[in-house]
Amino acid sequence: MPYNRSVTYILGCLALYACLNKSHNLSSEERASIVREVEGGFKNYFAAVRRGGLTAELDYLDDSGDFFWVPPGYDQPISYDSVVAVLNSSAERYRLIENIMDSLHVVPLSPDLASYSARIRSTMRDTSGQTTTLHLVESGIVVRRNETWKLLNGQTAVINP
């Protein structure tokens, strides 16, 4: 099965499963609380990356066997271990990474799962002083682990502004 269909199928099944199991049980207050928590989690995530560089992302990724991600330029999902390797090998190349969400839409699926879609502006300055700004679109699923929201799976693509 080609990547686009398989990732879409997996994300769709996960979202449908979560919705059928628990979504209807969430009150409007619970939904609003989940949205605030996930939004706050992304704010903390981006602040951590700005302070600590690419490897600070690791604290915000779910390290379970259920994790996968499709980064820009990839046509297949990669595992948590592969993401760790990419982040570690790239981290030393950048002095600054600043991600700003131009938009974020969070949909609570259950008390411990939410889907999101976002438009992100990512500015990176490498060790030579070269600055690059990318406009990204991202969608995925976040999971609550020990009262912290972590990225479980999803995909990121570069778009033209």
**The predicted structure's pLDDT at residue 1:** 39
* Confidence at residue 160, expressed as pLDDT on a 0 to 100 scale: 82
Which H or E run includes 39? helix 28-52
CA-CA distance, 54 to 34, in Å (whole number)?
26
| pTM summary value | 0.83
**How do residues 112-125 score in pLDDT, each as one tens digit?**
999 999 999 999 99
pLDDT higher than threshold 50 for residue 45: yes
Among 54, 12, 53, 18, smallest CA distance to 34 is for 18
| Mean pLDDT calculated for residue range 140-144 | 98
Q: Which of 126, 58, 135, 119 is nearest to 97 (CA)?
A: 126
- Average pLDDT of the residues in 41-50: 97
Average pLDDT of the segment spanning 7-27: 58
Q: How confident is the model at residue 42 (pLDDT cuts 50, 70, 90)?
A: very high
Domains and CATH numbers, the chain: 3-159 (3.10.450.50)
Q: Which residue has the tokens 């302070």?
A: 51
Instruction: Say what the pLDDT of residue 115 is.
Output: 98
